[in-house]
Structure 1
Amino acid sequence: MLILELIVKKLDASATGVYLITVTPFTDSGALDLASTDRMIDFCLDKGVTGLTVLGIMGEATKLTAEESRVFVKQVLTRVAGRVPVVVGASAPGFAPMRELTDSVMTLGAAGVMVAPPSSVRTDDQIVAYFDMVNETLGKDVPWVLQDHPVSTGVQMSTPVILRILKNSPTCVMLKHEDCPGLAKLSSIRAASERGEVRRVSILTGNGGGLFLPEELTRGADGAMTGFAYPEMMVDVCRAFAADDIEKAHTIFDAYLPLARYEQQTGIGLAVRKHILAERGVIASAAIRKPGPKLSAADIADIARLTVRQTRRLAEIA
């Protein structure tokens, strides 16, 4: 593990590109599938992702035991072997398990952790006070990501609140922006840093598997931190934007949009993603830990039809 600690670069505010949120592969019986985990990591790196994020909401983190979380993260970090940064979701009901998980994964070679507010905080002052305690818990040496995802947390963080958190949090180096609608909010946060009101941090977006990625990049996002069964879409869109070929970025995005939209359905989205990843040979099973949805025959037929159309469209624009 000493080798990993020497070669892994910690997350910082200059982060750009695509930090793909991975699924957690399971066997049909519901056990962790570490062989598929290795195959999934190889697939993501082959597609050109800049980094990885594990134990996110779509990674079924709440269905894992503490030991399973450590085993999975260790498997991912071992396979990555320092080639890209890995961010680990560390949100927890209390600060003791947050600290325990953070210490564990940072020792293993994680680049940083991600924290979302708990549903128990409601007022602006409560939210800011909570993240002051996050700073105390994580300490001065752990870079962390502020996750703004009100759909899952039930916590609305306004632009002024986020700016207050950033001002109080020198080790918060990234905002995972996934409020929706959120383009105006993204523009406001970026404008505040440009005016010098707050230091500039990396902003990676997570809305709906990249459903608003071109517009978010135009508004000042540095890339994406979300999941999609075709991560190459986000990689190619970000590369086109970086090359200032905006039209190409939109053309690529449009080709994947129907399937990306289908994958973002409330309730069955993760099942769709895992089904496609299994069809692509990335994971052995599309199993979701209970409680979880199952696709119908009609769902599977829809996915097959959209995949054929996507393949044809990509060939046309190649």
Structure 2
Amino acid sequence: MAHFPGVYVAIVTPFTDQYEVDYQRLHELSNWLIEKGVHGLVPAGSLGEYATLTAAERAKVVETVIKAAAGRVPVVVGTGAPSTKQVVEWARHAKEAGAAGVMALPPVSYKPLENEIIAHYEALSGVGIPIIAYNNPRDYPTDLTPVLLAKLSKLENVVGVKEFSGDVRRVHDILRESDLEVMIGVDDLAMEGPIAGATGWISGVPNALPEQGVKLFEWARAGKVDQALPLYRQLLPLFHYDASPQLVQAIKYMMELAGQPAGPTRPPRLPLAQADLAAIKQAYEDAVRPVTS
């Protein structure tokens, strides 16, 4: 049995025009996503701009999402931070606040040795909360290979992996090498991932289109490829933005188009160029048209 099955939205952090965290809007967005059928929420991840938040803001973001969820769906909290000590502290805060689990990168400040990676997750496992290891070799110096993940799976509380390498073959390798559950991490493998055996999806674009995301994942997970494929192809141009460096700006603009604005991104992230906005708008309009086979 998977600990975290289904579509978990890596929820954005809404800001006011003055770049202050809009906690009321965060509460509203959390509630809206739950009402639209998502299976869980993931605050304080990269899409949530965690690195731009003060410690007080970040703690309140986590607490706001957990309070809004009110036990209706699990909340898995991002713990990204420069040191193992800080990661452990964020995991403890998540546990005390009522989170169901944490999402944890390997050490991010330099390229660590294998024994350092294992020690990092050993310290985190000691907190006593389920851990989804986060493999993102696109943006960080470490690749959590299937062989390394097999070693991490021996730790008591490491139960899954968010797989963000972009290689769907990794899903098969991880499931063969370990007993970890796999949550696909890149939106543009949202169909192939569950077909290959991923039981969850930590998603970006469903911040704007949650119903479509849930429908797509559930069809793919059930093997209903004939139903999933037309919807997937319509959504795919939007999904590609999830793996781009400007994913936060792009997804916040999609949310604006969906009538669920979340404000600007905090610098150093700046607004997108008009040409980029026009391309996203066209892709969005194509994505929300009635699906044709």
Same fold (TM over 0.5): yes
Q: Identify the match of residue 297 of structure 1 among 267, 274, 284.
A: 274
Matched, 1:183 2:172: no
- Report the Cα offset of residue 15 of structure 1: 2.4
**Secondary structure of the structure 2 residue equivalent to 1:174:** strand
Q: Identify the match of residue 42 of structure 2 among 53, 66, 69.
A: 53
Instruction: State the alpha-carbon separation in 1 of the partners of residues 5 and 97 from structure 2.
Output: 23
- State the match for 1:245 in structure 2: 224
Give the letter aligned to residue 156 of structure 2: P
After the TM superposition, which of the residue ranges 237-246 and 140-149 deviates more from structure 2? 237-246
Using CA pairs under 8 Å that are at least 6 residues apart, name the structure with larger relative contact order, 1 or 2: 1
Instruction: State the alpha-carbon separation in 1 of the partners of residues 259 and 246 from structure 2.
Output: 20
Q: Identify the match of residue 97 of structure 2 among 108, 119, 142.
A: 108
* Matched-pair contact (CA < 8 Å) for 1:268–1:294: no
* Matched-pair contact (CA < 8 Å) for 1:146–1:172: yes
Give the letter aligned to residue 143 of structure 1: P
Give the letter aligned to residue 168 of structure 2: L
Instruction: State the alpha-carbon separation in 1 of the partners of residues 108 and 64 from structure 2.
Output: 30
* Matched-pair contact (CA < 8 Å) for 1:41–1:79: yes
- Report the Cα offset of residue 137 of structure 1: 4.1
Give the letter aligned to residue 74 of structure 2: P
Cα distance, 1:129–1:267 mapped onto 2, change above 3 Å = closer
**Secondary structure of the structure 2 residue equivalent to 1:113:** strand
- State the match for 2:201 in structure 1: 224
- Report the Cα offset of residue 127 of structure 1: 2.8
Instruction: State the alpha-carbon separation in 1 of the partners of residues 289 and 213 from structure 2.
Output: 19
Q: Deviations over 1:89-126 (max 9, x none)?
A: 11222232222222222111111111111245646xx2
Matched, 1:27 2:5: no
Mapping of residues 62-141 of structure 1, within 5 Å? 62-120=51-109, 122=111, 126-139=113-126, 141=128
- Report the Cα offset of residue 249 of structure 1: 1.4
- Report the Cα offset of residue 265 of structure 1: 6.5
Q: Identify the match of residue 134 of structure 2 among 147, 168, 184.
A: 147
Cα distance, 1:284–1:121 mapped onto 2, change above 3 Å = closer
How many residues are treated as equivalent by the alignment? 291
* Matched-pair contact (CA < 8 Å) for 1:36–1:282: no
Instruction: State the alpha-carbon separation in 2 of the partners of residues 102 and 24 from structure 1.
Output: 19
Instruction: State the alpha-carbon separation in 2 of the partners of residues 106 and 92 from structure 1.
Output: 17
Give the letter aligned to residue 108 of structure 1: A
Q: Identify the match of residue 284 of structure 2 among 290, 307, 313.
A: 307
* Matched-pair contact (CA < 8 Å) for 1:128–1:165: no
* Matched-pair contact (CA < 8 Å) for 1:128–1:161: no
Aligned-residue Cα RMSD (Å) equals 2.0
- Report the Cα offset of residue 293 of structure 1: 2.5
TM-score normalised according to structure 2 size: 0.91
Cα distance, 1:176–1:137 mapped onto 2, change above 3 Å = closer
Give the letter aligned to residue 215 of structure 2: D
TM-score normalised according to structure 1 size: 0.85
* Matched-pair contact (CA < 8 Å) for 2:38–2:210: yes
Structure 1 stretches lacking a partner, 5+ long: 1-11, 193-197
Cα distance, 1:117–1:42 mapped onto 2, change above 3 Å = same
Q: Deviations over 1:195-243 (max 9, x none)?
A: xxx4x22210111xx2012211121111211211323232111221344
Instruction: State the alpha-carbon separation in 2 of the partners of residues 310 and 211 from structure 1.
Output: 14
Cα distance, 1:96–1:137 mapped onto 2, change above 3 Å = same
Q: Identify the match of residue 213 of structure 1 among 178, 190, 193.
A: 190
Larger Rg over CA atoms: 1
* Matched-pair contact (CA < 8 Å) for 1:117–1:127: no
Higher helix fraction: Structure 1 or Structure 2?
1
Instruction: State the alpha-carbon separation in 2 of the partners of residues 246 and 153 from structure 1.
Output: 33
Cα distance, 1:303–1:157 mapped onto 2, change above 3 Å = closer
